[in-house]
Amino acid sequence: MKRILVTGATGQIGSELIPALRKRYGSENVIAAGHKTQPDKELSEGGPFLSLDVRNFAAVEKIVKEHRIDTIYHMAALLSAFAEKDPLLAWDVNINGLRNILETGRKFQCSVFFPSSIGAFGPSTPADDTPQDTIQRPTTIYGITKLTGELLCDYYFHRFGIDARGLRFPGLISYKTMPSGGTTDYAVEIFYAAVRGKRYECFLKQGTRLDMMYMPDAVRAAIQLMEADPAKLIHRNAFNVTAMSLAPEDLYREIKKHIPEFTMTYKIDPMRQAIADSWPHSMDDSAARKEWGWKPEYDLAAMTQEMIERLSERFEQ
């Protein structure tokens, strides 16, 4: 049985990835590690939870050694808008954190999952049908850390044989844990506002089209890639994956089918708009489809219906 460590356990992805991994591999085999000392009940009661700052190499090493870890899902990172406010902290967490994970992985022969992002592309990348292998000149510190992370993972694989795999995630939409400090956060906030009967003020302008995905697909993609037959992986790392390409008005229109009285206005945040404008509109994820069978299950309609149902249940309680 695998012994798995998930960093960034209390974050948007970690909080849904961990229950899925625990269901698959057994609760005791999945160690959740996050910088918050007070995780929610599901995380802390569902299996082992440890407090960890990924910048602390000795602490990472201790956990991997003591818990006989063989696979690390390294989800701890600062998101794009937050990173732009504190670039040095973003470098420290996103790069030094990853270096600690890869080095520990090298020492203890662990496989590593690294989440890259649409942020690893920049304004000179083709924005439509963005190829798997293309120009990458990101202009945000977040993008620079994600691209560096992709390269570091490749380096550790070629140089030391570490099985480092990863995906370029689009904006992720989920009802369980709010993202914090991302450019695509509007696509989650809009649902919370709609379900609570509030008007939503969108910080990205109309027509800002970006790749998006519903969290269950993202969690499935990460696990599926880590379980994929290595002989079939040509890329191994930094796979484009997407489920839909949306602008704020597309989400607004779909939500209104369920909540007709919902209203949305726009108040543009120049920093997040500039970040979004430097990212692709829609990625070509055919390499992921071909090499390990990626296929999203949720489209805009299915995701919207489930988001509204789940959030309504939560707010009715």
Q: For ligand AKB, which is the closer residue by CB, 3 or 165?
A: 165
Tell me, letter by letter, the H, E, C secondary structure of 60-81.
Answer: HHHHHHHCCCCEEEECCCCCHH
Residues 122-161 that bind ligand AKB (CB under 6 A): 142
User: Is 142 among the residues known to form the active site?
Assistant: yes
Binding range to ligand AKB, per CB under 6 A, among 20-28, 46-54, 182-190, 283-291:
182-190
**Helices (runs of H) and strands (runs of E) counted in the chain:** 13, 14
Q: With binding defined as CB under 6 A, does residue 79 bind ligand AKB?
A: yes
Counting Cβ atoms within 10 Å, is residue 110 exposed (0-12), middle (13-18) or buried (19+)? buried
Q: Nearest Cα to 266, choosing from 193, 200, 190?
A: 200
Contact map string, positions 109 to 128, toward ligand AKB, x by CB under 6 A: --------xxx---------
User: What's the DSSP call for residue 246?
Assistant: E
Residues 204 and 187: their CA atoms lie apart, in Å, by 10
Residues 119 and 136: their CA atoms lie apart, in Å, by 10
Q: For ligand AKB, which is the closer residue by CB, 105 or 179?
A: 179
* Least distance between ligand AKB and beta carbon 169 (Å): 6
Q: For ligand AKB, which is the closer residue by CB, 30 or 218?
A: 218
Q: With binding defined as CB under 6 A, does residue 213 bind ligand AKB?
A: no
Q: Show the tokens assigned to 189.
A: 């906030």
* Least distance between ligand AKB and beta carbon 273 (Å): 12
Angle CA 227–76–314, to nearest 5 = 90
Q: With binding defined as CB under 6 A, does residue 182 bind ligand AKB?
A: yes
* Least distance between ligand AKB and beta carbon 149 (Å): 12
> For binding to ligand AKB (CB under 6 A), which residues are involved?
79-80, 117-119, 142, 169, 171-172, 179, 182-184
Annotated catalytic residues are 142
